[in-house]
Amino acid sequence: MRAISESRCFGGVQGVYSHASQVTGCDMTFGLFLPAEAETQPVPMLWYLSGLTCTHENAMTKAGAQRWAAEHGVALIFPDTSPRGADVADDEAYDLGQGAGFYLNATQAPWAPHYRMWDYISEELPRIVTANFALDEERQAITGHSMGGHGALTLAMRLPGRFRSVSAFAPIAQPTQSDWGRKQFTAYLGEDELSWRDHDATHLMNEYGCDGEVLIDQGATDQFLDLLRPEALANAMMRRRQPGAFRMQAGYDHSYWFVQSFIPEHLAFHAEALWR
């Protein structure tokens, strides 16, 4: 692992690191904010998964999360959204290929050799960060925005016991029924739609639910509402009687201004679960 940069931030350290990934078969980059408490003891960690077109850097610089993470003594991990490199398959469209990994393991050509983001986020990167930094692997939570909200919810529901809490900002809530999902699942996973269900938060909520509380914020004037399908997930939470909250926020769109506005509440929500 190589440190690309380390900068003092709210009494802690915001770092950017690179490593050769055995899972994706290419170099991967991630951001990590460590609060001051990490100098003396392992600290809880909150994973932040980003959305379409993003790298590790978008949320790291735009979400404004470090201030609140420092206040609560929580580390923030900002993974990349896909494998990258000259030898990694890509597509001219913004919503497929590099920057659009959808947090799954691809099974189809030409994506399968590198697009193994499920294994990377759920197995390899956790091993790397807990082995190299003062992080408490027993205290994890996860959040994300848009495609990253989809990833956060599906990881939390398919890995019961891993995360003490899960939240999302404007998640792609029902990708099996949306153009932000059907296109990518067909490319990455093939034509068998039954195989897509493991990556659909609405289906997983209906079938299994979450073993912890859930917090979801959705902008009511989000320009992508028809693609996100928030009503499907909200209805599934009601049918499941899932503990948590799904909040429609009047006047907010899909941007990082929306994320910045509610990130303090999400950090407080996760900190309560992580320090319990």
146 classed as catalytic:
yes
- Expressed in percent and rounded to 5, the helix, strand and coil fractions of the chain are 40, 25, 35
> How would you class 211 by CB atoms within 10 Å of its CB: exposed for 0-12, middle for 13-18, buried for 19 or more?
middle
CB distance 26 to 83 below 8 Å:
yes
Q: Which of 72, 199, 254, 266 is catalytic?
A: 254
For residues 54 and 35, give the distance between their C-alpha atoms in angstroms, rounded to a whole number: 24
Q: Which of 21, 50, 146, 165 is catalytic?
A: 146
- Phi/psi for 77 (5° steps) reads -115, 125
For residue 167, the cross-strand partners are 215
For residues 255 and 193, give the distance between their C-alpha atoms in angstroms, rounded to a whole number: 30
Residue from 47, 159, 51, 57 nearest 101 by CA: 51
Q: Which of 56, 80, 222, 270 is catalytic?
A: 222
CB distance 114 to 24 below 8 Å:
yes
Measured at the alpha carbon of residue 45, what is the angle toward residues 156 and 232, in degrees to the nearest 5?
25
Residue from 166, 76, 152, 97 nearest 121 by CA: 152
**C-alpha atoms less than 13 angstroms from C-alpha of 120 in its C-beta half-sphere:** 31
Measured at the alpha carbon of residue 156, what is the angle toward residues 66 and 212, in degrees to the nearest 5?
90
What's the N-to-C CA distance of the chain in angstroms? Answer: 32
Residues with a catalytic annotation lie at 146, 222, 254
